[in-house]
Structure 1
């Protein structure tokens, strides 16, 4: 690769972030076009080197664009809108990349990981799943590799008393804990792609209400996972020494850091009257630089390190950009051909109560994910097809909650999902074993809990 290509690709992604922010703050259609063009430039430079799934998504996007231009009189406007929304998702993902750079070099994150892996069996699952949940807010997928490597290093046959069965059980419990902790982050986190997509496609939702509501749902699902783990693997009578004073301080400090980032994102979104994801897009690069400056005790060194790493890593985002951006683009384009009025009439013909429809939509996301349909595509299609939720008597908050809950649960169970594939690779087990044997019971129980939750929410909001 010639030296100018990674620099130009990096500049293109930075332009995506900047233009997406301007578009949201200034309500500028021109900035949306710039963001879409910058994303297209990045994909022209790097898309051909993406993996098989990324290339498939790009091809599907090109086919959808060609068909749209051929048959839709307003095709150009539709493609520009889809490109701008795809750019906003990629802007958020790229901003997370800045934060990941600071987290990966942080001794604080490393100490938190070591603390979690060292826990005794009686509390190891709870600490790992909660710790993975917290760390995934800043590391995203990186938490699976960080904690997964620590687990495989510490879970040796010798450490298991040369009992292969115990070693396998420990692998299953610990890797399941970090997978669920990571996945359930998407239930509520304003820094997640799921939050951004749902805010884009489900209108008339107040994030001030959605955020605490989803926080409670995530807590319930985390408790459910812990209960199932304890039920399947009852604790032994072996006693363990209590943790030494101050042992939990690193995790406490990390929680404070993450709370500060989330609070700053929410505060900026409130002041600028934009979606939380835009606030996060503004805050995360600044937070990453500040974090590095504290680590290195030298602002200039932090600037140099971050600048060097950005040029090295952003071109390597090609697979994620192709998959995430392509899925968002494709979902919006295809949704434009699904008439909301016809969809409303079709659903009304089913004769189901609004609460039952909300549950059905959530289950549809989970089922489609099992066949390789990205949650971005399914959620975008559902949101586009149900543009007027009031006509069906569907409370927008309940729909948003169901889609985000289904997104998280399907991330634990789809055999073609990146999270499940990563855990299977770390654990050196078949993908289907992670998706079905390790997490099947949790996902089914979680789907039942989510269904009850949605019925209750609809009842409270008057949607039954």
Structure 2
């Protein structure tokens, strides 16, 4: 009997979708990086940038059925915002085009970040480095984990929290089984959370840093990185010291676990890799005259390709190719890439509307004091996160609105620091942030308890310290 042919379905199979995502991601990265690097001398560089933006849109639409609901809403909002600007503020369309290209760079950067996260997740070198942080007595251990987690999280990001928590539980069980004093795994998990949060303020391959340095034209990214790193170093030492001092130490001998074999060398190698990554990003930024964001899009895939060669145990036994890894990285960061692409466009639309309403004139005329605007960003962005509204779009709106205006022009470093601290504080204050969710899961409590109880003192203390630092930099800016 003849059979009825199957009906055509619009949705592709996962294998085809992954392959298409990988190919488009490769085209996105290549056209964006080549277009930016060759802007001054390469004929057709502008066409390459247009191609990268078009590719980012196609990629976002292809992944639309598989991203989160909030990402779908953001993308629809970006199309609506573009339509409204085209009808009501056509003079702002060039700014919208620039925002689309900026969102394209965010999307490419997140794919590049996904590439390096794949080998890092499987790295035994990083696991051994983290193990070495526990070879101390109770208070020194809190101090070491607080600072060490900050370095490791540059590469491992939110995965650092779960890894430190697992190691702490394993050490606690082993010590108790041997009749020794246990380890406070909750304190270790919170120390890892705080180190990871502080990393987001200064890491030049972090999303917050990318948003700020892209939005404030008068900001020198290299000087800003040095300033942010120095300030966070001082605050980190103070915070880790306070955490260590508050750690109860029972009477009696204070035993410590010996460091696992090779842990010290592993930690040194990981820190060297991080320093090398930062140095290469700085060099690419200076030598190629591109933004940190574009420099990272070039350096991160290079490090991702080199890492398995530096650590042979990471080499896949199967025929895993570069395009397959790129497909997986693209798919793993699909939701974040869609959100940042859309948020850049929405932020530009809000900035255009605010500028049309005369906000720049109010700031320039003194009716809205610049310091008040800067401190308002520091407080309001975390407040948005605390009420479980995604803070990403508010951060990008604030950066778009004030970065190129009078505030960013006159006080770039104060505004940049306020936005970066606000980014970290919003993550700490939001019960729906990945860090709060992971920490809650590791501690067996709700993310709300992590945010509004266990980590509240740290968040408020960091906000107060950030306000003082921003005020000082504003006075000197």
Alignment of 1:8-19 (within 5 A): 8-19=20-31
Question: SS of the residue aligned with 2:429?
Answer: coil
Give 1:26's aligned residue. 38
- Tell me, in whole angstroms, the C-alpha distance in 2 between the residues paired with 1:252 and 1:264: 18
Cα RMSD for the two superposed structures: 3.2
Give 1:190's aligned residue. 204
Give 2:8's aligned residue. none
1:199 matches 2:216: no
- Tell me, in whole angstroms, the C-alpha distance in 2 between the residues paired with 1:303 and 1:125: 42
Q: 1:47 to 1:155 in 2, by over 3 A?
A: farther
- Tell me, in whole angstroms, the C-alpha distance in 2 between the residues paired with 1:325 and 1:131: 32
Q: CA deviation at 1:409?
A: 2.0
1:239 to 246, 254, 258: 254
Q: CA deviation at 1:428?
A: 2.1
TM-score norm. by structure 2 comes to 0.86
TM-score norm. by structure 1 comes to 0.88
Q: CA deviation at 1:382?
A: 2.0
Q: CA deviation at 1:222?
A: 1.6
1:89 matches 2:106: yes
Question: SS of the residue aligned with 1:274?
Answer: coil
Q: 1:391 to 1:81 in 2, by over 3 A?
A: closer
- Tell me, in whole angstroms, the C-alpha distance in 1 between the residues paired with 2:425 and 2:177: 31
Q: CA deviation at 1:260?
A: 0.8
Q: CA deviation at 1:64?
A: 2.0
Deviations 1:202-221 (A, max 9, x none): 12011121011000121133
Give 1:454's aligned residue. 470
Give 1:386's aligned residue. 402
Instruction: Kindly indicate whether the alpha-carbon contact (under 8 Å) linking 1:33 and 1:80 is maintained by their aligned counterparts in 2.
Output: no
1:365 matches 2:381: yes
Q: Which moved more, 1:372-381 or 1:36-45?
A: 372-381
Question: SS of the residue aligned with 1:338?
Answer: helix
Alignment of 1:229-308 (within 5 A): 229-237=243-251, 238-241=253-256, 243=258, 247-296=263-312, 304=320, 306-308=322-324
- Tell me, in whole angstroms, the C-alpha distance in 2 between the residues paired with 1:327 and 1:152: 39
**Greater Rg by CA:** 2
Q: Which moved more, 1:116-125 or 1:357-366?
A: 116-125
1:432 matches 2:453: no
Give 1:126's aligned residue. 143
Q: CA deviation at 1:133?
A: 1.3
Instruction: Kindly indicate whether the alpha-carbon contact (under 8 Å) linking 2:35 and 2:46 is maintained by their aligned counterparts in 1.
Output: yes
Q: 1:80 to 1:353 in 2, by over 3 A?
A: closer
In structure 2, the gaps of 5 or more residues are 1-12, 40-44
Give 2:152's aligned residue. 135
Q: 1:367 to 1:157 in 2, by over 3 A?
A: farther
Instruction: Kindly indicate whether the alpha-carbon contact (under 8 Å) linking 1:340 and 1:388 is maintained by their aligned counterparts in 2.
Output: no
Q: CA deviation at 1:392?
A: 8.7
Deviations 1:340-387 (A, max 9, x none): 772234446776764444223322222222234444322322233225
Q: 1:3 to 1:356 in 2, by over 3 A?
A: closer
1:108 to 125, 132, 151: 125
In structure 1, the gaps of 5 or more residues are none
Q: Which moved more, 1:432-441 or 1:100-109?
A: 100-109
Q: Which moved more, 1:187-196 or 1:19-28?
A: 19-28
Q: Which moved more, 1:323-332 or 1:83-92?
A: 323-332
Alignment of 1:331-410 (within 5 A): 331-339=347-355, 342-347=358-363, 354-387=370-403, 389-390=405-406, 394-410=410-426
Deviations 1:202-259 (A, max 9, x none): 1201112101100012113322431342344343444124746964221111101111
Q: Which moved more, 1:277-286 or 1:69-78?
A: 69-78
- Tell me, in whole angstroms, the C-alpha distance in 2 between the residues paired with 1:359 and 1:292: 44
1:4 matches 2:19: no
Give 1:45's aligned residue. 62
Q: 1:377 to 1:161 in 2, by over 3 A?
A: farther
Q: 1:330 to 1:429 in 2, by over 3 A?
A: same
Q: 1:297 to 1:113 in 2, by over 3 A?
A: closer
Q: CA deviation at 1:302?
A: 10
- Tell me, in whole angstroms, the C-alpha distance in 2 between the residues paired with 1:456 and 1:303: 55
- Tell me, in whole angstroms, the C-alpha distance in 2 between the residues paired with 1:83 and 1:407: 22
Instruction: Kindly indicate whether the alpha-carbon contact (under 8 Å) linking 1:16 and 1:91 is maintained by their aligned counterparts in 2.
Output: yes
- Tell me, in whole angstroms, the C-alpha distance in 2 between the residues paired with 1:297 and 1:85: 37
Q: Which moved more, 1:294-303 or 1:12-21?
A: 294-303
Question: SS of the residue aligned with 2:218?
Answer: coil
Instruction: Kindly indicate whether the alpha-carbon contact (under 8 Å) linking 1:132 and 1:182 is maintained by their aligned counterparts in 2.
Output: yes
Question: SS of the residue aligned with 1:239?
Answer: coil
Aligned residues: 458
